[in-house]
Amino acid sequence: MKKQNTKIFTIFALIVLGILVYLAENHLDAYKLRILNLSAIYITLGVSLNLIYGFTGQFSLGHAGFMAIGAYVTALLVLPPYYKEMIFILEPLAWPFTVMHTPFIVALFFSGLFAAIAALLIGLPVLRLKGDYLGIATLGFAEIIRVIANNIPRITNGALGIKGIPEFTNLWWTAGVAIFTIYIIKGLINSSYGRALMAIRENEIAAEVIGVNLTYHKVMSFTISAFFAGVAGGLFACLLTTIDPKAFMFLMTFNILIVVVLGGFGSITGTVIAAFLFNFFLEYLRPIEAGFNIGPIVVPGIPGLRMVTFAALLLIVILYKQKGLLGGIEFTWEGLFQFVNKLFSKNKSSEGSAT
């Protein structure tokens, strides 16, 4: 398929998406919008985690920590100064946060930037470690970030967290950031640098001998991944309107991990689909935990059942379908047309062979 045609189809698809977002924003209720928004944020989180896991092969468990940094940065920048003075009741907010007040997009940018800087500082020493050790080290850093957030009331308001964040996040933002994330990361993967990252995943020693600078590439991948995690954190803050350190415990990273595993390592398409499935099921299974009524019968809720189900799903996928529920396929326009063609030609040949 010619490059021109792919570009046209993509632009067409984006326009369609834009129309859908417009319709959704103006006609759906808040509940459904919240699920869509969360799904889109999880796309950003999942794709960015996939960059460091699925493509570069580095087992980082610290995503929640970068989210936390992003969330706090956005919250502090987006709230007006007088409001911040009000809610910081444990200790007064430190300067310069007292005077800073920026538009949403600037805040999101700084969220990503600060998360990226943290990733740079953490990644340089830590990315030398392999496999489990890297996982535990990054988990450790995420926990350290969380503990710090809990203990510096001058900046984060400690355990109280920050409430009343303006609800700037809407489907335009979340979908827009998700598209941007996919665009950048796909651009990276489909380039010589992307090949270098995958080479590192496949065989680190060989990659180094081939001339791939391990430190540079690993840190680059880690930093970019963290940038988007930070932005997602900012979107999160302005969606839920309240954040506190407890929201960024390991459970958050585990949720993102579920999305990446179910969608398949190294498959952006899979991550997108899994992000939606995860959030939809999480919401629609809520009645099972809260209890519901069938006519006169009251079915009591079983709390914790959703996560048990997802954990079990994760185990099933990792044990039997390691490439993810979809087998690691990636969406391309060509692939779509071939698929559609196959469907139609099957029909044709079955008619013809009846003679």
H, E, C per residue of 224-270? HHHHHHHHHHHHHHHHHCCECHHHHCHHHHHHHHHHHHHHCCCCHHH
In angstroms, give the least distance from the CB of 142 to other proteins: 9
Helix axis angle for 171-189 and 214-240, nearest 10°, is 170
- Give the nearer residue to other proteins in terms of CB position, either 35 or 188: 188
DSSP-derived 3-state class of residue 327? coil
In angstroms, give the least distance from the CB of 318 to other proteins: 5
Return residues touching other proteins (CB under 8 A): 53, 57, 59, 125-126, 128-129, 131-133, 135-137, 139-141, 143-144, 147-148, 150-151, 184, 187-188, 191-193, 195-196, 198-199, 202-203, 205-214, 220, 250-251, 254, 257, 261, 302-305, 307-308, 310-312, 314-315, 318-319, 322
Task: Give the separation between CA 40 and CA 62, rounded to whole angstroms.
Answer: 20
In angstroms, give the least distance from the CB of 290 to other proteins: 14
Q: Tell me how far CA of residue 98 lies from CA of 75, 104, 117, 153, in angstroms.
A: 12, 17, 22, 13
Task: Give the separation between CA 71 and CA 103, rounded to whole angstroms.
Answer: 15
In angstroms, give the least distance from the CB of 128 to other proteins: 7
- Give the nearer residue to other proteins in terms of CB position, either 192 or 355: 192
Helix residue ranges per DSSP H, 127-170: 131-151, 153-156
Strands (E), the chain: 292-294, 297-299
Q: Which two tokens stand for residue 165?
A: 């964040």
- Give the nearer residue to other proteins in terms of CB position, either 12 or 133: 133
In angstroms, give the least distance from the CB of 149 to other proteins: 10
- Give the nearer residue to other proteins in terms of CB position, either 86 or 210: 210
- Give the nearer residue to other proteins in terms of CB position, either 108 or 126: 126
In angstroms, give the least distance from the CB of 153 to other proteins: 10
- Give the nearer residue to other proteins in terms of CB position, either 52 or 77: 52
Q: Which two tokens stand for residue 309?
A: 């189900």
- Give the nearer residue to other proteins in terms of CB position, either 137 or 275: 137
Helix, strand, coil shares of the chain, percent, nearest 5, are 75, 0, 25
In angstroms, give the least distance from the CB of 127 to other proteins: 11
Question: Looking at the chain, how many residues does it have?
Answer: 355
Q: CA 145, 151, 157 angle in degrees (round to 5)?
A: 100
